[in-house]
Structure 1
Amino acid sequence: MSRRVQPGDAEARAPLLTGDHLEPSDLDSDEGDIIFDRSVTNITHDADGSAQRRLTYEEAVEEAGFGLFHGLLLVACGWANASDAVEILCVSFLLPTARCDLLLSSSDMGLLTASIFLGMMVGGYLWGYLADRRGRQRVLIVSLTINGLFGALASLAPWFWLFLLLRFISGVGVGGSIPVIFSYFSEFLPRLRRGAMISALATFWMAGNILAAGLAWLVIPRTWAHFSLGRHDFQSWRVFVVLCSVPSLTSALIFRFLMPESPKFLMEVDREKEALHVFRLMFELNQWGTKKAFPIFGLCTSSRRGGESEENKTWGSHRERISSFFKMGLAPIRQLFNGPFRSRSVALLIVFYCISFGYYGLWMWFPELFERVEDGGSPCANVSLPSPLRNQSCYPVKTAVYMEGFIVAASNLPGNIFTILMMDSTGGKALLSCSLVLSSVSVFFIYVVQTKSQSLLLSCVFSGVSVISWNALDVVGTELYPTHLRSSALGFFTGVGRVAAITGNVVFGKLVDTNCAVPVLLVSALLLTGGLVALLLPQTRQTELT
């Protein structure tokens, strides 16, 4: 437990008043107590002798209020989060039909579902690092554009290897927007509302999931979405792929023309005037319809500008510059696994790996598993025939597969509502651990069920419970690290998660035809492991961002 700052403790209050960084250990609070006392506001004097308040980030956010701006911010960031969900999950919905046109075996389908995660692994840390150095908004615009553009181009690919490559590049874009969007969103929020608001943002993943499932249900089985384009036969699943790219491209336009840069990042790099402009915008929208005037204050900014200029210098030969670049890029990872961050980083790495292997390894194969229980029985009892024979059953498309996918996607709703209501009072650590354990139990029973209705019911239970884990992880991961490491940390850990997702999909692709029980039970075991390791994380409930 870190020492509380007392009102009369001048030595302890010094970092707060000067705007210097606090030690990382100051973030640790196992009970989620308020660590900082903000009863004293720093006063400085301008050149003309007039006094001016200088506020910390948390004080400035509270001065800006809470209201309309944050509602619009939630919609913009939520749509970007939903667009990532659509782009990732669309592959699972096109598998039952695309495997015929692209002549895919189960191993090929495993590679296809893994390709976007490989791109996310590459893009996650790269974009997260750039967001910590160059700004959140700029990185979001570029990554969302790459996601949508190459996702749409994939619909034109006539060969499997080209489709695989374009999906990989699209994944590089997704890998940037997912970690950065949560850092960006959290840095506009007052401390007491952060948990519920980040949970609300996470619910848009469910919206993207439902959108992808709904589009698949409406488009893929329909004959009107099947037409000829020159010499190429444009199947309905290709129309579906094009439609799935629209949310990412529209999100990029929204951030380019409507959304400001994060004020926390601007303060971190000593851009006080721009940060004050953002706070003024927040205040004016939140006080819409009132006659309140924006209060006059200054900001306690950091002094990273000098450090950034040093980073941009290059010395020596070309080889030395490349070496310096890689050392600089890997510096945040060294910080994550050294000193006070080490224990939480190791625990978070294990949790990310376990939940990503379990969730994506199973979720991406749900439509395929549902197709295998079309006539009843356990999904692992009905082993499919070899690929050439199975390909003959792709058409006509079985609408029930997409209807069941839509139902499972909609079953996220209770878990999302529960998370929003309980996050601030319970804390992310407890919700993360409990939901992972319950997810493990639900997956185990998916293996032992004997009827199609039981399989669908337990899949819905898994969906509703596992979404609590993801929402809690979004909150905890955002609050565990300071501003100069936040996006890099989330990018790195989501990259680790992508390695796990790739592994999970490859394992399913290799074993789903021969020994389906192995990957299903492995998912259950890993989710249980993640739930137990999550107990080692510090409680971050209602702590202030540094």
Structure 2
Amino acid sequence: RLTYEEAVEEAFGLFHWLLLAVCGWANASDAVEILCVSFLLPTARCDLQLSSSDMGLLTASIFLMMVGGYMWGYLADQRGRRKVLVVSLTVNGLFGGLASVAPWFWLFLLLRFISGIVGGSIPVIFSYFSEFMPRLRRGAMISALATFWMAGNILAALAWLVIPRTWARFSLGKLDFQSWRLFVVLCSVPSTSSAVLFKLLMPESPKFLMEQGLLPIKQMFSGSVKARSIVLLIIFYCISFYYGLWMWFPELFARVESSGGSPCANVSVPSALNNQSCYPVKTAYMEGFIIAASNLPGNIFTILIMDSTGGKTLLACSLIVSSLSVFLIYVVQTKAQSLGLSCIFSGVSVIAWNALDVVGTELYPTQLSSALGFFTGVGRVAAIMGNVVFGKLVDSSCTVPILLVSALLLVGGLVALLLPQTRQTELT
């Protein structure tokens, strides 16, 4: 008789590549759902008459997946990975799409809130996927799965094909359905289509079927896993706070396009905001697209060396280099320099996320997939705080949150050195 690891190694084949495509599309849907808000901000700001504080609340709302992340992880441990993925992705896409017809900011915010708080199944996707993977291939395959976040990022960055177009504007009763609303509808398609694919094509995790059971969440902070849980909690917080900067990239570049100089050079001048067009020129969106595409080298790098180097080393090094690149964004003085460093940050930080995805699935037993959901929830708290801080300070002191992001990334990189090495370990 074969062990579980031997069985999945023998069975590796075409199904696993189909699994990668389906799980990858679901991972991409998470990126689209989160990042679409940042690309519609310059236009929705005018239509919904938003202040910078309002925009901070809006970008923070999607990160309320923190509750959904733990809830779905908990249910996945009891009811199965596949069922949870179908339901959560359906609800996430449905409410994300309904937000497109909200005539008022408070209703738009509420629907995005529901989409976020009920969504958040991405930790389950990584647990589900890893349980099909043989030990010697797991690092590379999970890194390949994480690469689909870049695909979703690029899809969201294609906002320049929709939002600036006047043909996408029409009346829907009393609602002026502008192009940014059509963009919101399009961004809900990946989630709903992912739910259909899981329902029609994917089986339940064999590892879950073998070892159904439930561990209390308190076991994450007891025994041999206590120290690693504390370290991961710190890392997830530090790495996720930077979403405050990431979500504001399109808005900062729109301001650069309007006023010139670095992203923080003129944001404190009221006229810089007043002179912005509700439909920024295409280059403001193209810059977001370029930053998204700069994930590619980092993704290829992690796929090639994850299994040989291990997640711990890649995680620590990439967080430290990311910290330096963010600090230099604050220092530079020209638009070209800001864009270049933003691309470097994008390419390096994705290595940290890919490494964290691998490490997170290997540090805990199969029955505790809710652990990754819990830590993702901690990260969402940090993301919300980062977005609120940027919303409050972007008009007056945007250097403060940028330097804070840099400092937290450095702390996360140093703390990551305390993690155990998990390269090519067997799932328990």
**Displacement, 1:385?**
4.6
Residue 70 of structure 1 corresponds to which residue in structure 2? 16
What is the rounded CA distance, in whole Å, between the counterparts of 1:520 and 1:393 in structure 2?
22
What is the rounded CA distance, in whole Å, between the counterparts of 2:288 and 2:279 in structure 1?
18
The Cα offsets for residues 282-336 of structure 1, whole Å up to 9 and x where unpaired, read as xxxxxxxxxxxxxxxxxxxxxx4xxx7xxxxxxxxxxxxxxxxxxxxxx633100
Structure 1 residues 181 and 396: CA distance shift in structure 2, 3 A: closer
Pick the aligned partner of 1:161 from 99, 106, 116: 106
Residue 378 of structure 1 corresponds to which residue in structure 2? 262
Work out whether 1:172 is the aligned partner of 2:117.
Answer: yes
Residue 202 of structure 1 corresponds to which residue in structure 2? 146
Are the aligned partners of 1:77 and 1:185 in contact in 2 as well (CA < 8 Å)?
yes
What is the rounded CA distance, in whole Å, between the counterparts of 1:394 and 1:225 in structure 2?
17
Work out whether 1:61 is the aligned partner of 2:8.
Answer: yes
Report how many aligned residue pairs link the two structures: 427
Residue 173 of structure 2 corresponds to which residue in structure 1? 230
What is the rounded CA distance, in whole Å, between the counterparts of 2:154 and 2:347 in structure 1?
13
Residue 284 of structure 1 corresponds to which residue in structure 2? none
Work out whether 1:256 is the aligned partner of 2:199.
Answer: yes
What is the rounded CA distance, in whole Å, between the counterparts of 2:279 and 2:113 in structure 1?
29
Work out whether 1:99 is the aligned partner of 2:42.
Answer: no
**Displacement, 1:509?**
0.5
Are the aligned partners of 1:117 and 1:498 in contact in 2 as well (CA < 8 Å)?
yes
What is the rounded CA distance, in whole Å, between the counterparts of 2:18 and 2:280 in structure 1?
39
**Displacement, 1:152?**
0.2
SS in 1 for 2:171: strand
Pick the aligned partner of 1:181 from 110, 117, 125: 125
Are the aligned partners of 1:99 and 1:391 in contact in 2 as well (CA < 8 Å)?
no
Residue 472 of structure 1 corresponds to which residue in structure 2? 355
**Displacement, 1:469?**
0.3
**Displacement, 1:397?**
3.0
The one-letter amino acid of 1:190's match is P
Structure 1 residues 88 and 396: CA distance shift in structure 2, 3 A: closer
Are the aligned partners of 1:380 and 1:447 in contact in 2 as well (CA < 8 Å)?
yes
**Displacement, 1:170?**
1.0
What is the rounded CA distance, in whole Å, between the counterparts of 1:67 and 1:512 in structure 2?
50
Q: Runs of 5+ in structure 1 lacking a partner?
A: 1-52, 270-303, 309-330
What is the rounded CA distance, in whole Å, between the counterparts of 2:135 and 2:249 in structure 1?
38
Q: Runs of 5+ in structure 2 lacking a partner?
A: none
Pick the aligned partner of 2:34 from 60, 81, 88: 88
Residue 191 of structure 1 corresponds to which residue in structure 2? 135
SS in 1 for 2:230: helix
The Cα offsets for residues 373-432 of structure 1, whole Å up to 9 and x where unpaired, read as 114211111125559x83663334321111100000000000000000010000000000
**Displacement, 1:60?**
1.9
The Cα offsets for residues 116-140 of structure 1, whole Å up to 9 and x where unpaired, read as 112x011010000000111000000
The one-letter amino acid of 1:199's match is S
Residue 129 of structure 1 corresponds to which residue in structure 2? 74
SS in 1 for 2:424: coil
SS in 2 for 1:373: helix
The one-letter amino acid of 2:276's match is S
Structure 1 residues 225 and 391: CA distance shift in structure 2, 3 A: farther
TM-score (norm 2): 0.98
What is the rounded CA distance, in whole Å, between the counterparts of 1:419 and 1:444 in structure 2?
24
Pick the aligned partner of 2:297 from 411, 414, 425: 414
The Cα offsets for residues 481-530 of structure 1, whole Å up to 9 and x where unpaired, read as 00111x21010000000000000000101111111110000000000000
What is the rounded CA distance, in whole Å, between the counterparts of 2:286 and 2:312 in structure 1?
34
What is the rounded CA distance, in whole Å, between the counterparts of 2:270 and 2:75 in structure 1?
46
TM-score (norm 1): 0.77
SS in 2 for 1:402: helix
Residue 382 of structure 2 corresponds to which residue in structure 1? 500
Work out whether 1:347 is the aligned partner of 2:290.
Answer: no
Runs of 4+ in 1 over 4 A off after TM superposition: 384-387
**Displacement, 1:172?**
2.5
Larger relative helix fraction: 2
Are the aligned partners of 1:479 and 1:543 in contact in 2 as well (CA < 8 Å)?
yes
What is the rounded CA distance, in whole Å, between the counterparts of 1:509 and 1:398 in structure 2?
23
Identical-pair percentage:
82
What is the rounded CA distance, in whole Å, between the counterparts of 1:205 and 1:174 in structure 2?
16
Are the aligned partners of 1:84 and 1:174 in contact in 2 as well (CA < 8 Å)?
no
**Displacement, 1:96?**
0.5
